Structures are given as structure tokens and as C-alpha cells.
């Protein structure tokens, strides 16, 4: 089972296009630092809070030593927020995949810490691969997300949309029954 640590932008994307419940169905151990949870203010935040309450998403309580390490990262990486640094720290501690769409965080996490890093598009790919989401629904959700999140890589989105469209479930052709003429006597 994969272990993932989510940054706020991933959770926000999923909440905004109503894919959060689908995300919870992925067979992953899901984590998010407390700072990340605190950043989210979406209308449907209750979905996230419910998932945290029932431990579908684990939110650790950091000890003093943990907070010191996060603070060290924050001093070292002045372009990152405390929440970003807590994501790196938690992903390292859990040997987890980091889910983020932030370029700086992605680069620092992968280059300086050797972490595997993916974004929202990868999550959507996994949802279709695991058949939690149909290609048609994924196409619609990604189209919606592209209107909301202008930071998504357009070329990658276009490539995925083309792939999704080519894999729409084929509906059976309509077979029309020959019309029977009624005969009256």
C-alpha cells in the first residue's frame, strides 16, 4: 500500500471539482500535516474534516523535535512556507510519496530530499486506472479543474484529455426493432 502526504493545493483541487470522496477510495495510507489542513477553507471543508475524524486522512501531532526539524527546513528553504516544510518532513519520516502542485516544493523535495513527488493529474490518472472514475467523468472533472486552477501544466492536461476522450466507454449501438404494423380485422 502506498503512503502519501498531501499538500493543501492537492486537497483543494480535489474538493473544488468534487473528487475528494473518490480520492478517499484509493488504497493509500493518506496523511496531511496540521498546517496543511489549516490552510483549507473550501465550502465543502466538512468532507475533509469528516475524513480526518474517521482517520481516512491521518494528521500527526508533531513533537518538539519534529517542529525543530521543520523549522530548520524553513530556515534553509526561505521560499517555502512552514506548511511546505512540514510536508517534506512528514513525507521523509514516513518514506511517503509527496502530493503537491507547487513547483518550488516539488523541486526541493525531489532534488534535495530524494522524495517521489506527484500532483493532481497523477491522482486523477490513478483514479481512472483503479476504475474509481470513468474516463468520461475524469475528462469532465479535468476540464472543470483547468478552468479553476490555471497553474496546471496545459500540455500535460491536453495530453490527458485526449487520452481520456479516446477511452470513453463505448455505448452499445441502439438497435431499433422493426416497427410491426398492426392489422385490424
Residue 59 and residue 99 in one domain: yes
What pLDDT does 177 receive? 56
Residue 9 and residue 65 in one domain: yes
Residue 15 and residue 106 in one domain: yes
What pLDDT does 168 receive? 82
Query: Quick check: is 11 in a domain?
Result: yes
Q: How many Cα atoms occupy the beta-carbon half-sphere of 161 within 13 Å? A: 14
Query: Quick check: is 75 in a domain?
Result: yes
Domain residues for the domain of 139 are: 131-166
Instruction: Assess contact for 106 and 151: CB atoms under 8 A.
Output: no
H or E, element range at 23:
helix 20-25
pLDDT tens for the chain, 185 residues long, are: 899 999 999 999 999 999 999 999 999 999 999 999 999 998 999 999 999 999 999 999 999 999 999 999 999 999 999 999 999 999 999 999 999 999 999 999 999 999 999 999 999 999 999 999 999 999 999 999 999 999 999 999 999 999 999 988 654 455 455 555 555 55
Residue 83 and residue 143 in one domain: no
The predicted-structure confidence for 81-101, as pLDDT tens digits, reads as follows 999 999 999 999 999 999 999
| DSSP count for the chain of H helices, then E strands | 10, 5
The predicted-structure confidence for 104-134, as pLDDT tens digits, reads as follows 999 999 999 999 999 999 999 999 999 999 9
Total domain count for the chain? 2
Query: Quick check: is 185 in a domain?
Result: no
Q: What share of the chain is helix, strand, coil (3-state, %, to 5)?
A: 55, 10, 35
Which CATH number goes with the domain that contains 19?
3.40.50.1010
Q: What is the side-by-side strand order in the sheet with 117-118? A: 57-58, 28-31, 2-6, 97-99, 117-118
What pLDDT does 183 receive? 59
Residue 20 and residue 84 in one domain: yes
Instruction: Assess contact for 6 and 99: CB atoms under 8 A.
Output: yes
Amino acid at each position: 500500500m502506498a503512503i502519501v502526504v498531501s499538500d493543501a493545493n492537492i486537497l483543494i483541487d480535489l474538493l473544488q471539482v468534487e473528487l475528494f470522496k473518490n480520492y478517499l477510495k484509493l488504497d493509500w495510507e493518506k496523511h496531511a500535516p496540521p498546517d496543511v489542513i489549516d490552510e483549507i477553507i473550501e465550502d465543502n471543508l466538512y468532507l475533509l474534516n469528516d475524513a480526518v475524524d474517521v482517520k481516512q486522512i491521518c494528521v500527526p501531532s508533531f513533537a518538539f523535535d519534529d517542529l525543530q526539524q521543520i523549522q530548520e527546513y524553513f530556515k534553509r528553504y526561505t521560499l517555502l512556507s512552514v506548511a511546505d516544510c512540514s510536508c517534506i518532513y512528514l513525507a521523509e519520516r514516513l518514506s511517503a510519496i509527496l502530493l503537491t502542485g507547487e513547483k518550488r516544493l516539488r523541486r526541493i523535495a525531489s532534488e534535495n530530499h530524494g522524495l517521489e513527488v506527484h500532483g493532481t493529474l497523477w491522482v486523477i490518472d490513478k483514479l481512472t486506472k483503479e476504475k474509481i472514475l470513468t474516463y468520461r467523468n475524469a475528462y469532465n472533472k479535468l476540464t472543470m479543474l483547468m478552468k479553476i486552477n490555471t497553474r496546471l501544466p496545459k500540455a500535460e492536461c491536453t495530453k490527458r484529455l485526449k487520452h481520456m476522450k479516446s477511452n470513453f466507454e463505448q455505448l452499445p449501438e441502439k438497435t431499433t426493432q422493426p416497427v410491426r404494423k398492426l392489422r385490424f380485422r
